[in-house]
Amino acid sequence: MIAVFGHLNPDTDAITAALVYANLLRRQGEAATAYRLGELNFETVFVLKEAGVEAPELLGQLPAGHAVALVDHNESSQSLPGLKTLNVTHVVDHHRLGDLETSQPATLRFEPLGCTATILLRLHLEANLPVEPLDARLLLSAVLSDTLHFRSPTTTPADREAAAFLAQVAGIPDVTAYAMSMFAAKSDLGDTPASALLKMDYKVFVLGDQTWGIGVIETTNPGYVFGRQAELLSAMSAEKAASGLNGVLLSVVDILQETNRTLVPGDSEAGVVQAVFGAAAQGHVADLGGRISRKKQIVPALEAHFSR
């Protein structure tokens, strides 16, 4: 059996890609099961509930050599602990190639598109397999989530075309209304503890000789997040110490205004943010302007800075 899963602190793409790719592999004759590597965020809970789909099971440790398929990630720092002891048989991803190693020849599909879902649609078309309506709904949700309804600079024409096609198959006539309901669910953070808010959309990156944790909160209600700024800053400092990181950042992305104001817990982060983005932190907040994509506008600039 191939265990199919997306990254730690899963987002909608990580969860739906695992479900849909496991189904596609089964339809192609492989034994495959979807799993998740963490708790669902509020947007993904909404998406699965609307679709009437159960969340994939939480994955525990796997025995050495077990077959795994990675979706929506490939870096070991974002994956199941002990990944290097496992047999990576497949990867479908739209991120930078990190430290991926395979023990056998593997099926790898990387494309610089806005979403793993867009690649998964291509895999269906190439295999001459129709996308099942439920899978189309899941894939559409992922495209809308990852591209922030086509606002993110990661969006490509292929993502827009995929969404239009998937909406038809899924029977979702008003994509804008559906996207807004997803973002409302994502922004309704309730009394979630600050440490959990930090980790909701959080990834660890090896950048040159440094290791940084970078979280993002995409929201239609940034006022709520900044109302909890003090708690979030202490959660960030605690995480930095607990995980021995060189720096921690938390970007608060206003989905509708397309702006990024990033929480900066300490002087070392403030210095790096000033050097890399030319943004001076004031009261632990740095205005990163329209840089709303961690993948395209934050991580590469930090990587260039630390690799110099």
Closer residue to Mg ion, CB minimum distance, 13 or 269: 13
What is the x/- site pattern for Mg ion, positions 214-233, by CB under 5 A? --------------------
User: For residues 43 and 186, is the Cβ–Cβ distance under 8 A?
Assistant: yes
- Window 66 to 105, contacts with Mg ion (CB under 5 A): 72
DSSP 135-180: HHHHHHHHHHHHTTTTTSTT--HHHHHHHHHHHHHHT-S-HHHHHH
Residue 303 within binding range of Mg ion, rule CB under 5 A: no
Q: Which helix (H) or strand (E) segment is 184 a member of?
A: helix 175-187
Residue 146 within binding range of Mg ion, rule CB under 5 A: yes
Closer residue to Mg ion, CB minimum distance, 14 or 37: 14
- Binding piece for Mg ion, criterion CB under 5 A, among 29-37, 45-53, 111-119, 248-256: 111-119
Angle of helix 133-146 versus helix 12-27 axis, rounded to 10: 150
Q: Supply the minimum distance, in Å, between the C-beta of residue 13 and Mg ion.
A: 3
Amino acid of residue 173: P
Q: Which residues pair with 260 in a beta bridge?
A: 253
Residue of the chain from 3, 11, 199, 279 that contacts Mg ion (CB under 5 A): 11
Residue 14 within binding range of Mg ion, rule CB under 5 A: yes
Residue 239 within binding range of Mg ion, rule CB under 5 A: no
- Binding piece for Mg ion, criterion CB under 5 A, among 10-18, 82-90, 129-137, 177-185: 10-18
Q: Supply the minimum distance, in Å, between the C-beta of residue 78 and Mg ion.
A: 9
Residue 13 within binding range of Mg ion, rule CB under 5 A: yes
| Residues 148-165: b if buried by 16+ CB within 10 A, e if exposed | bbbbbbbbbebbeebbeb
- Window 38 to 57, contacts with Mg ion (CB under 5 A): none
DSSP 101-142: --SS--EEEE--SS-HHHHHHHHHHHTT-PPPHHHHHHHHHH
Q: What residues line the site for Mg ion (CB under 5 A)?
A: 11, 13-14, 72, 116, 146
